[in-house]
Amino acid sequence: MTSSILSLFVGFLALNFMPSEKKIETQLVRQYDTADPQFRRSLGVLLGPPIIEGNKVEVLRNGDQIFPAMLDAIRHAQKTITFETYIYWSGTIGQEFTEALAERARAGVKVHLMLDYIGSMKLDRQQIEAMRAAGVQVQRYHKPVWWKLARLNNRTHRKLLIVDGKVGFTGGVGIADKWRGNAQDENHWRDTHFRVEGPVVGQMQAVFMDNWTKATGVVLDGEEYFPPQETAGDLPAQMFSSSPTGGSESMHLMYLMAITAARKTIELSSSYFVPDELAVKALVAAAKRGVKVRIITPGKIIDSDVVRIASRERWGDLLAAGVRIAEFQPTMYHVKALIVDARLVSVGSTNFDNRSFSINDEANLNVLDPDFAREQVAVFEDDWRRARPISLSRWEDRPWLEKLSGEFASLIGAQL
């Protein structure tokens, strides 16, 4: 009996750790750069949704800007709120969101809240019940029950808030007090979120509907969720998603396409930077053809030491090729942004690691506009000034215990 239970457990682990789709196995061939119209066409065709014009995207830095904007949108909702997030914890900001969502539900707004089960484990059950009692439809993604153990490792890491089908938010922030403030100390994290208006909000809504339908079997449709979209600005944008249940390699492909097409610059902000072999080769190739590549990752203040150790283990070839890597010093760095040639900006929930590329459900917003990209480069520069560059010699001289730990961490790199 014991051996049968053990065999069953090992089988469930294998199902969780095995990729559900074929992975990208070869490095992309560089056929165009980011200024070539083919780059935009390929993004639209290979990633799924088209790049559409007429959008407005506002950058929000840190909790002092992010949370008031999100709560204001919620409190002014008239018809619908759809909200999907990984982290939602009890605390002061969690309570504010709970009260705002419950108040709108009592006012007759249709409120749908998708919480990842693992990411919301620190949310008091009383808050969940208070929202449900007010009329909020709360769905917890992939609750660990025996008939779903094969999907336990697949989490929704998407961060989407759409109000009345017209205003959307995405980025890196979680609903927890660690994101409050202005990154002023190690207890207040550095992060960026984006407020979006225009036709691309319809694509954001469609991404939310993807998991809502999978989890509940209910299709949310109609003008309350998908109203006619008016032009809100002049930015071309695209919202796309990835999931191991379909299109798991879309996010990985997008990053490889952008890096391969880079002509001048790559600025990567990555809270969890554990590149696979293909990503390392693509970044090295870009640096060798003269692209200025800079990467910001967290420093010693990080919520996962294993990730940091595994990340640093993979820096050798990058640093040797001229890639510049710097560790953010003031606090935990949770930003997730890619800027290529001051032309493409990709932001959302995706980390630069295999968990985001192959295991989790993720969603990213791509914006193709030089003016918007230059604004994000300025934000990157500000972060770079508060980061400590790591030289090749310094990396080679890291303590032997860290090197040994890095070897062990690399063995589970596919799960980080």
By annotation, the residues acting in catalysis are 157, 159, 164, 334, 336, 341
pLDDT digits (tens, 9 = 90+) for 334-348: 999 999 999 999 999
Per-residue pLDDT, averaged over 391-401, amounts to 89
Q: How many helices (H) and strands (E) does the chain have?
A: 14, 17
Residue-level pLDDT at 338: 98
What does pLDDT average to over the chain? 90
Q: Which helix (H) or strand (E) holds 379?
A: helix 370-385
Percentage with pLDDT > 90 across the chain: 76
**Position 248 confidence tier, pLDDT thresholds 50, 70, 90:** low
- What structural domains and CATH numbers belong to the chain? 21-415 (3.30.870.10)
pLDDT of residue 412: 64
Query: According to the model, what pLDDT value does residue 357 have?
Result: 86
- Predicted TM-score (pTM) of the model is 0.91
- Structure tokens, 151: 């999907």
Q: What is the pLDDT of residues 308-323, one digit of tens each?
A: 999 999 999 999 999 9
Q: List, in order, residues 6 or more apart from 322 with CB less than 8 Å away.
A: 287, 288, 293
Our CA dihedral for 287, 290, 292, 294, rounded to 10 degrees, sits at 10
Look at residue 8 in the predicted model and tell me its pLDDT: 40
d(CA 109, CA 415): 39
pLDDT band for position 415 (50/70/90)? low
User: Under a CB-based contact definition with an 8 Å cutoff, are residues 330 and 188 in contact?
Assistant: no
- Tell whether the model's pLDDT for residue 15 goes beyond 90: no
pLDDT for residue 145: 60
